[in-house]
């Protein structure tokens, strides 16, 4: 895609990224279709387990040989699930993770990546993604990054720098924005970009739902463990749901436009999901994005039960409109809808990545993943601050959300007051950039 702003320069990479662009890799990945690709999984929650299962279902020999997670119960549950899946598929040999290749705690990711693996799946909470991706590239591993790839400007810059280093080592990098691999989306977007609805006038996108789980605080649980268990509700781990979930819809709009927004302004807050167990994030965001040519994208995401739910994207043009997520196009002269059977885009994104590794074809989804992540972060910056945010300012922001120390004894960036409530971003007051 062509961004609607100047691309980050090599000088910017060197200034803001912490990966040396000439970092020597220790690439050990097989290059022939018949070689076994050895996989390491970092982050063993539901999405990590799903991604690993999809990786193990790709064509050609593949084997899961290392796993890492902060929590032992989550790792063991994931391993049991994947073992059972492979038994059902009559390929039990595809899971081979003995005790000595199961790594726990904050440093477990490095030990899994440093194992004899060819591909690593990074599926922890997104706040860890830049650090983990950087290490994987330094070690010469092919990588699948779950989305989003960061939660703040410094993290996006770190990912962009690592992506540049990955290119120099000919590493293949996939990102979990699976709509790009769904042939129904691909066909719909291609038709829009070919002029099926005329000149684009407006884009709209939504992720409105009831919200997600929470994990009750247990006796003796440290604040760090509580936040790690409830990572969705803390910005240093999740980035708020506009970043963690709504990135999918924002990414589709960027894909249609073939650009990234130059500006964002909006508003949000906590109206219903505002208890002590909902951390510090908002339950609704409404953002108006503007591209460099003046075109608008309207973005809405909400976590409130009993309301209108929609996870969708829409495009409006001078000669018609499209329900993009419904794979339908309407114009005064013609209508079109997808005729393809249902597919599993989660599986297809792994099929594509692993095929590229085996065939040694260029494969780089990291830059778009980083820039669509920044689109979502820019929206959060706008709703939290109540002020317009420019793309270049969001990218160059020095506001880092990470804690000063990654350890169970460490103090998270946000802590509760005496009543157990967390400070909530306040428009007009909160520094979000």
Structure confidence at residue 342 (pLDDT): 79
**What whole-number distance in Å separates Cα of residue 317 and Cα of residue 141?**
43
Structure confidence at residue 106 (pLDDT): 97
Average pLDDT, the chain: 93
pLDDT tens digit sequence for 253-292: 999 999 999 999 999 999 999 999 999 999 999 999 999 9
Structure confidence at residue 339 (pLDDT): 84
Average pLDDT of 351-369? 97
Q: Got the DSSP string for 259-316?
A: S--SEEEEEEE-SSS-SGGGTT--SEEEEEEE-TTS-EEEEEEEE-TTS--EEEEEEE
Please name each of the domains of the chain with its CATH number.
Answer: 10-179+347-364 (3.40.50.720), 183-340+375-396 (3.30.360.10)
Biggest distance spanned by C-alpha atoms of the chain: 66
340 pLDDT band, cuts 50/70/90, is confident
Average pLDDT of 53-63? 98
Q: What tokens does 344 get?
A: 């599993």
Structure confidence at residue 178 (pLDDT): 98
Specify the length of the chain in residues: 433
Average pLDDT of 155-173? 98
> Is the pLDDT score of 69 beyond 70?
yes
33 pLDDT band, cuts 50/70/90, is low
Distant-in-sequence, close-in-space partners of 165: CB < 8 Å, separation ≥ 6: 19, 20, 21, 23, 137, 138
- Do 309 and 210 form a contact (C-beta atoms < 8 A)? yes
pTM assigned to the model: 0.93
Structure confidence at residue 240 (pLDDT): 98
**Burial state string for 169-182 with b = 16 or more CB within 10 A and e = fewer than 16:** bbbbbbbbbbbbbb
> Is the pLDDT score of 124 beyond 60?
yes
Structure confidence at residue 16 (pLDDT): 39
> Is the pLDDT score of 397 beyond 80?
yes
């Amino acid at each position: 895609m062509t961004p609607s702003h100047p691309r980050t320069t090599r000088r910017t990479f060197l200034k803001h990224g912490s990966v040396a662009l000439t970092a020597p890799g220790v690439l050990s990945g097989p290059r022939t279709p018949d070689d076994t690709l050895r996989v390491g999984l970092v982050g063993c929650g539901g999405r990590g387990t799903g991604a690993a299962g999809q990786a193990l279902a790709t064509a050609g020999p593949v084997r899961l040989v290392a796993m890492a997670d902060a929590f032992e119960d989550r790792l063991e549950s994931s391993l049991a699930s994947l073992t059972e899946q492979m038994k059902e598929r009559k390929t039990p040999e595809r899971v081979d993770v003995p005790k000595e290749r199961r790594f726990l705690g904050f440093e477990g990711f490095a030990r899994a990546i440093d194992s004899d693996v060819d591909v690593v799946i990074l599926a922890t909470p997104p706040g860890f993604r830049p650090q983990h991706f950087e290490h994987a590239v330094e070690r010469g591993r092919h990588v699948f990054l779950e989305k989003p790839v960061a939660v703040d400007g410094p993290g996006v810059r770190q990912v962009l720098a690592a992506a540049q280093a990955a290119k120099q080592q000919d590493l293949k990098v996939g990102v979990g924005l699976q709509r790009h691999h769904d042939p129904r989306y691909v066909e719909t977007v291609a038709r829009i970009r070919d002029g099926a609805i005329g000149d684009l006038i407006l884009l709209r996108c939504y992720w409105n739902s009831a919200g997600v789980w929470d994990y009750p605080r247990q006796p003796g649980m440290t604040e760090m463990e509580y936040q790690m268990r409830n990572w969705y509700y803390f910005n240093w781990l999740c980035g708020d749901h506009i970043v963690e979930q709504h990135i999918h819809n924002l990414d589709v709009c960027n894909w249609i436009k073939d650009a990234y927004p130059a500006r964002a302004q909006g508003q949000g807050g906590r109206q219903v999901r505002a208890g002590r167990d909902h951390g510090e994030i908002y339950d609704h965001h409404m953002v108006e994005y503007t591209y460099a040519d003046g075109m608008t994208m309207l973005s809405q995401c909400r976590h409130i039960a009993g309301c209108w739910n929609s996870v969708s994207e829409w495009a409006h043009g001078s000669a018609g409109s499209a329900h993009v997520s419904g794979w339908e196009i309407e114009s005064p002269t013609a209508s079109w809808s997808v005729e393809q059977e249902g597919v599993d885009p989660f599986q297809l994104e792994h099929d594509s990545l692993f095929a590229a590794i085996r065939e040694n074809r260029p494969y780089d989804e990291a830059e778009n993943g980083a820039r669509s992540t920044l689109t979502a972060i820019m929206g959060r910056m706008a709703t939290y601050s109540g002020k317009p945010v420019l793309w270049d300012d969001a990218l160059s922001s020095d506001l880092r959300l990470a804690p000063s120390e990654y350890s169970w004894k460490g103090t998270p960036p946000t802590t509760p007051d005496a009543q157990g409530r967390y400070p909530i971003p306040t428009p007009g007051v909160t520094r979000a950039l």
